[in-house]
């Protein structure tokens, strides 16, 4: 649950004063607030606030059932918006030396590999493109390949990390898996191979 700051408490009290004798529903992260009450004529009413807005959207309803259904749908909509926003703000979950892999191609499967060389701030990373080792190769047209972290192919590139992913122009590179059992025993990362194909 998000802690209410002094400024928010002041705003919250102001809203309460504007909606006397109303029932209040509030998001745990304080992103929205709803007040349920009745108009002077006795009609069910709801007032909706987004974020720190001081002016709410007031709606009147013919009956309590319709109001409750509308409020439920509105809250679910706000929860979906919050979930998408949280997903976009997902914390970086990468470490120095991590290898990322991304795939692209329409009639063929091409793999590119990158290595994290620097962590910048809370969300950015610096990566370099690395080469690949061909494990199985059918005259260069299809086979299996794995990343080679020691083969640096590019200058450092700065990118924003989204969890364990980094978006490039034509694909998104994600954290590449390796044999954890071998790593625990030897300290050496044996990266899982990827199938590739090229027919042109």
What value does the mean pLDDT take over residues 158-174?
Answer: 91
pLDDT for 197: 80
The residue ranges of every structural domain in the chain are 6-88, 99-197
pLDDT for 86: 75
pLDDT single digits (tens) 62-118: 999 999 999 999 999 999 888 877 766 667 899 999 999 998 876 678 899 999 999
Residue with tokens 């493109």: 129
pLDDT for 98: 96
Six-digit token string for 182 = 């071998």
pLDDT for 162: 87
Q: Phi first, then psi: give them for residue 146, nearest 5 degrees.
A: -135, 155
pLDDT single digits (tens) 126-139: 999 999 998 876 66
CA 101 to CA 97: how far, in whole Å? 13
CA of 56: how far to CAs of 12, 30, 85, in Å?
12, 14, 22
Confidence of residue 142 (pLDDT cuts 50, 70, 90): confident
What value does the mean pLDDT take over residues 156-184?
Answer: 91
pTM above 0.75, yes or no: no
pLDDT at residue 190 greater than cutoff 60: yes
pLDDT at residue 200 greater than cutoff 60: no
pLDDT single digits (tens) 15-70: 999 999 999 999 999 999 999 999 999 999 999 999 999 999 999 999 999 999 99
Note whether 54 and 36 are within 8 A (CB). no
What value does the mean pLDDT take over residues 10-19?
Answer: 96
pLDDT at residue 153 greater than cutoff 80: yes
pLDDT at residue 141 greater than cutoff 60: yes
């Amino acid at each position: 649950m998000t802690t209410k700051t002094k400024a928010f408490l002041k705003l919250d009290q102001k809203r309460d004063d504007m909606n006397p004798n109303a029932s209040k529903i509030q998001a745990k992260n304080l992103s929205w607030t709803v007040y349920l009450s009745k108009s002077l004529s006795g009609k069910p009413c709801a007032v909706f606030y987004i974020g720190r807005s001081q002016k709410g959207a007031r709606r009147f309803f013919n009956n309590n059932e319709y109001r409750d259904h509308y409020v439920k749908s509105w809250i679910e909509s706000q929860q979906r918006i919050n979930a998408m926003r949280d997903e976009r703000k997902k914390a970086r979950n990468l470490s120095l030396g991590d290898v990322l892999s991304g795939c692209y191609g329409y009639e063929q499967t091409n793999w590119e590999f990158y290595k994290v060389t620097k962590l910048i701030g809370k969300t950015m990373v610096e990566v370099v493109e690395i080469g690949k080792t061909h494990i199985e190769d059918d005259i260069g047209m299809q086979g299996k390949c794995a990343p080679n972290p020691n083969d640096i192919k590019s200058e450092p590139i700065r990118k924003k990390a989204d969890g364990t992913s980094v978006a490039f122009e034509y694909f998104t590179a994600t954290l590449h898996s390796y044999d954890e059992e071998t790593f625990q025993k030897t300290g050496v990362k044996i990266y899982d191979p990827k199938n590739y194909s090229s027919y042109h």
